[in-house]
Chains A and B, each alone.
Chain A
Amino acid sequence: MNDSGDRLRAGRRTLCGAACALVLLGCGPASGQTTQDVIALPTPRVQAASSPSAGAADLRSPDGGVLHSVAAADGRIVGVGATAGGAAAWSVGSDGAWTQHRLAAAADVPQLDAVALAGPSVVAFGGDGQRPSRMWVADGGTTWQAVDADVVGIDGRVNAVTAVSGDRWIAVGDRVDPEGGESYQGAIWISEDGRSFTPVTSDLALAEGTLSDVATTGDTVVVVGFDINGGKVWSADDMSAFSAATGPFEAATVEGVAATNDGFVAVGRGIADLRPLAWTSEDGRRWQRADVEAGDVRPEDQIRDVSTVDGVVIAVGGSLDSSVLWTLEDGLRWRRRS
């Protein structure tokens, strides 16, 4: 989940007009790491041009709502998730506060899981986790319209979506076992119009796994996920054939990915201890561990989405009934914002 491809190719325009860069430093073993999993590879050092803009720094979770996904582009920020009443969608107004939108035909939908935007268009997915995800769209209006499932063509559970360029979109997720509801196979769908999606046939080998997130910059698409053997990352140029990326993903889950000014950052956890982990890549194909401290991310916190807002990496998540938003401070430490 991240900014649209158009926005990235044109350069970043922040909410407050201030450019930001993300600092990711390779400083050696973080506290708490064992010698077994220290990856002694240097990461590129990128200096922060300035402090995070007011937009990203002031971002909080919406009152009474749990954020599952956030997208930002062209000065707009939208979020989706749930409230006590079910699926919910919001956007950030000029006052910096979240405003909830009306979702058509969503009375029986417990939550929205994924959102992306490009220009005036918004695409969101959600559902009950057992049946194929349903889709809502908005074209600048305040009411998000449901799209007929036969039109959408999604045959699985969508966990993330992003705009690639123009009207092209890519959604990732999994196919669900009808008996237990567990994911057993990753899935990717692409759309040329933001309405109908078709599955991509790619060899994404996953064993009881899931595809958790997708990010783009330029023509490069990165898909991340995990299965019982650890983290998985694939990249493709312009949504053509995906190939497995290289990197130290074993014994880890990869739960989110975002585009940055220097390529990509992926976020996940250690399987054995749920310690937050991060990886960086300049091209989406070769990855290395980044030294990131857990900071305010507790082992029991879920990370549901990773995005960039004004050049700052943010994560949203929390527990099942609480919403937390974190920012990655100085590329090193997660700081809780709400």
Chain B
Amino acid sequence: MAATERAYRTIGGVPLRYLRTERPLTQYYARSTAEFEDKLDAFSQDLAEAAPRSYGPLLYIATAGAYVNKPKYHGLGRAFDLDLVRWEHKRCSPLRGDHEYRWRATRRRYIAVDALARRRFKYVLDGWYNGAHRDHMHLDDGGGALVFNAGYRSDTVFVQASANVMINAGLVVDGLYGPKTRRAFATMKDRLEIAHRVSRDARLYRAFLWRLALRALRNKGL
């Protein structure tokens, strides 16, 4: 399918903006494959549905870029760089580095957006993944099935960071799936009442991510 077969200014009906200019652009035309746009639409709908009523409606989503002419998934129209999610009364700003913000509620909100992204996109490179992603979240739909993969650094750092923010696990976020990480992950799954098959069952992993997001958006630990 063509990398730019779809051009759109909204995802899931929510306007897209570009903030990385002196005067932010209030209209941004993203381009992608049709399938990828459908995934973005679903992600946007998840962001709206999972948020508590106190957040208000989703106002806009800011992107650092979708299709751009460079190798791999951005060039294939299957990637999206997320800068900010703006509800009426709350925001989640990877652009600001919310993954390491001083307030736990803000870090939890980042975890929630991260989790919701992982329900639709296999590769989510977040602020814990490496320094190149300290100010945005990269989403693409390469990489296979939507299950947890301990061999993927991107999956493991998310679990480690989530465990630290949600259950005070005190893990080193190093991307190495060792016994401490395994135990913390098991604890989170138990508290969310998810069976321990998330590395094989995509439905279960998506349910884990959804329940995690619901708690995190409400600033509730596990």
Question: Which A residues contact B (CB, under 8 angstroms)?
Answer: 36, 129, 157, 159, 174, 176-177, 179-185, 207-208, 210, 212, 226, 228-230, 250-251, 253, 255, 269, 271-274, 299-300, 302-304, 317, 319-320
Residues of A with C-beta under 8 A to B153: 179
B23 closest partner in A (C-beta) = A36
Contact partner, B71, options A129, A179, A229, A319, Cβ 8 Å: A129
Interface residues in B106-165 (C-beta closer than 8 Å to A): 123, 125, 130, 132-133, 135-136, 138, 140, 142-143, 152-154
What is the chain B residue whose CB lies nearest that of A206? B132
Tier of interface size on chain B: 35 or more
Instruction: Give B48 Cβ to nearest chain A Cβ, in Å.
Output: 24
Docked CA distance A304–B68 (Å): 12
Docked-complex contact B70 and A300, CB < 8 angstroms: no
Cβ of B7 under 8 Å from chain A: yes
Q: Which residue of A lies closest to B151 (CB)?
A: A179
B71 touches A157 (CB 8 A): yes
Q: Is B177 an interface residue (CB 8 A)?
A: no
Instruction: Assess the A272–B28 pair: CB atoms within 8 A.
Output: yes
Whether the Cβ atoms of B71 and A210 lie closer than 8 Å is yes
Asked whether A255 lies within 8 Å of B138 as measured between CB atoms, the reply is: no
Asked whether B132 lies within 8 Å of A181 as measured between CB atoms, the reply is no
| Interchain CA distance A174-B75 in the complex, whole Å | 14
Q: Is the CB of B27 within 8 A of A182?
A: no
B152 and A274 form a contact (CB under 8 A) = no
A129 and B69 form a contact (CB under 8 A)? no
Q: Chain A residues near B72 (CB, 8 Å)?
A: 129, 176, 180-183
Residues of A within 8 A of B133 (CB): 208
**Chain B residues in 8 Å Cβ range of A272:** 18, 25, 27-29
Interface flag for B21 (CB, 8 Å): yes
Chain B residues touching A, majority SS: loop
A182 close to B21 (CB less than 8 A): no
Write out the residue numbers on chain A whose beta carbons fall within 8 Å of the beta carbon of B5.
Answer: 300
* Residues in B lying within 8 Å of A, measured CB to CB: 2-5, 7, 18, 20-23, 25, 27-29, 31, 64-65, 67-76, 79, 81, 123, 125, 130, 132-133, 135-136, 138, 140, 142-143, 152-154
18 contacts between A and B (CB under 8 A): A129-B71, A174-B71, A180-B125, A182-B74, A207-B132, A210-B71, A212-B70, A226-B68, A226-B70, A228-B64, A230-B21, A250-B20, A253-B69, A269-B69, A300-B3, A300-B4, A302-B69, A319-B2
- Complex contacts, A208 vs chain B, CB 8 Å: 81, 132-133, 136, 138
Would A183 and B71 count as touching, CB distance under 8 A? yes
Q: What are the residues of chain B within 8 A of A185 when measuring CB–CB? A: 132
Q: Which residues of B contact A320 (CB under 8 A)?
A: 2-3, 76
Closest B residue to A210 by beta carbon equals B70
The CA of A36 and the CA of B27, in the complex, are separated in Å by 12
- Tell me whether A182 and B3 are in contact (CB under 8 A): no
With contact pairs A228-B81, A251-B20, A302-B75 given, residues A184 and B130 touching in the complex (Cβ less than 8 Å): yes
A183, B18: Cβ atoms under 8 Å? no
Q: Tell me if A182 and B25 are in contact (CB < 8 A).
A: no
